[in-house]
Amino acid sequence: MAVQLLMGNSRKGWPATRNSWLQGLALFVIVELLATLSAFGADADHKVMIRDLTQIQGVRDNQLVGYGLAIGLKNTGDSQQTFFTVQTLANSLQRMGVQITPGVVVVKNVAAVFVTATLPPFARPGMKIDVTVSSVGDAKSIQGGVLLLTALRAANGEVFAEAQGPLVIGGYSEGAAGNSKSVNQPTVGRIAEGATVERDASVDLSRFKTVSLLLLNSDFTAARDIADVINKDFGKPIATALDSRRIDVDVAASGAPSVPILISRVQNLSITFRSPAKVVVNERTGTIVMGGEVRLSPVSVIQGSLTIDVETKHVVVQPAPLSNGKPEVVDETKISVNDAPAQSIQLEEGANVDELIKGLHAIGATSHDIISILQAIKAAGGLEADLEVI
């Protein structure tokens, strides 16, 4: 929303409607944020530790998933039409020596759930991890429920953890029929330290002949600089940049007493890192984030606004006097067109993001207008940065 909106015709400089003011405030915040990022972009070179730029190949998380039952609900569980819930309950009872017929069971205090968790690197048997429990049937809420013992499996089908415990959710759903209120997601809950690791998933670092550092973002210059600073610190060529993402470090040549000590020493080294010039645009939310030193070539921007409003009203037409006609309801359509004059800004060679955003703000461009204009500038070759739309 433009500056004119914030300084509208209504009293004390406030816009006539609350929504307009909120839109103007949102754009103002975006403009100030981008201007601040642009100011920092002028000093794009800074020291960054290797641990913040890379990860160790082979040292990673693993995703776990399981299927189970949440019990103890207050008549908010799955309905009888959710057959797999009743079947799962029958199977669980059968393992405990209780035989039931699934077709005649009506239990509203049970819900079928999927349980997910992340197994961290070097997890050992007996460690506790958090789990997330999500309803898969038509349960209204799993608030107050208890997760029955559920096996959590990895992608290879092996069980790595067992989960069980009372659920904690961050929302609620209360009421009945048309008078109800729901906050957040009452069908998703968590159990802090609700799973116990049963299988060793740690990586044996002692077998590593080479430690491979993987850059989080592909960059040939950063890969070269990391290899150079490692070789300089150890005083011999033990690191080699293989491509824009991978740097190999020779464990034997380093002379380190162990692989963990080698990794710790390498990760605490720093390089001079230059943030890439990149613009990330989220068209769904109208968010724009610019990193690095984003520069613009000489460019002119012309922005206009054409607004067409179509209003339809229902009008009752009365019959003529002394006639046998009946009143009729007809639609009356009114069309108004408002074509605002085009406005333009011009940017000289080497202009930065701050100047562009201030110029667009001055001509009344909204956040979504700015997104379209940035895309057009990039297509015209005027934006010296990568433009990514998400």
- The residues, any chain, with a CB within 8 Å of residue 135's CB and separated by 6 or more, are 70, 78, 111, 112, 113, 142, 187, 188
Q: What does the pLDDT read at residue 252?
A: 94
- pLDDT of 35 higher than 60: no
DSSP state string for 318-334:
PPPTT-----EEEEEEE
Q: What does the pLDDT read at residue 177?
A: 52
- Structural domain containing residue 145: 62-175+182-197
Q: What does the pLDDT read at residue 193?
A: 94
Determine the average pLDDT of the residues in 179-189.
74
CB 341, CB 306: distance < 8 Å: no
Q: What does the pLDDT read at residue 67?
A: 96
Residue 383, Cα to own-chain centre: how many angstroms?
26
Residues 258 and 382 in one domain: no
* 255: CATH: 3.30.1360
**Domain's final residue, options 257, 274, 291:** 274
Residues 225 and 149 in one domain: no
Handedness of CA 132, 135, 141, 146 (dihedral sign): negative
The token duo for 96 is 């405990």
CA distance 142 to 135: 7
**Mean of the per-residue pLDDT values for the chain?**
79
- The residues, any chain, with a CB within 8 Å of residue 111's CB and separated by 6 or more, are 69, 70, 73, 76, 77, 78, 85, 135, 137, 139, 142, 145
Nearest to 335 by CA among 302, 369, 308, 307: 308
Band of residue 3 on the pLDDT scale cut at 50, 70, 90? very low
Band of residue 37 on the pLDDT scale cut at 50, 70, 90? very low
Decide which of 182 and 238 is more confident.
238
What are the φ and ψ backbone dihedral angles of 30, each rounded to 5 degrees?
-60, -45
- The residues, any chain, with a CB within 8 Å of residue 19's CB and separated by 6 or more, are none
Q: What is the pLDDT of residues 318-328, one digit of tens each?
A: 676 666 667 77
Residues 81 and 189 in one domain: yes
Residues 108 and 191 in one domain: yes
- pLDDT of 293 higher than 90: no
Q: What does the pLDDT read at residue 297?
A: 75
Residues 114 and 21 in one domain: no
**Domain's final residue, options 163, 197, 231:** 197
Decide which of 295 and 262 is more confident.
262
Residues 134 and 37 in one domain: no
The token duo for 224 is 């070269």
Residues 258 and 156 in one domain: no
Of 17-21, 184-188, 303-307, which gets the smallest average pLDDT? 17-21
- pLDDT of 59 higher than 50: yes
Residues 313 and 354 in one domain: yes
**Domain's final residue, options 138, 163, 197:** 197
| Exposed/middle/buried for residue 179 (C-beta within 10 Å: 0-12, 13-18, 19+) | exposed
CB 16, CB 272: distance < 8 Å: no
| Exposed/middle/buried for residue 355 (C-beta within 10 Å: 0-12, 13-18, 19+) | middle
Determine the average pLDDT of the residues in 370-390.
80
| Residue that is written with structure tokens 């997760």 in the block | 147
Residue 355, Cα to own-chain centre: how many angstroms?
29
Domain count, the chain: 3
Q: What does the pLDDT read at residue 38?
A: 47
Residues 256 and 338 in one domain: no
CA distances (Å), 249 to each of 97, 121, 164, 207, 241, in order? 58, 21, 42, 14, 9
CA distance 166 to 70: 9
Q: What does the pLDDT read at residue 42?
A: 44
Q: What is the pLDDT of residues 63-102, one digit of tens each?
A: 999 999 999 998 888 887 788 888 888 888 888 888 887 7
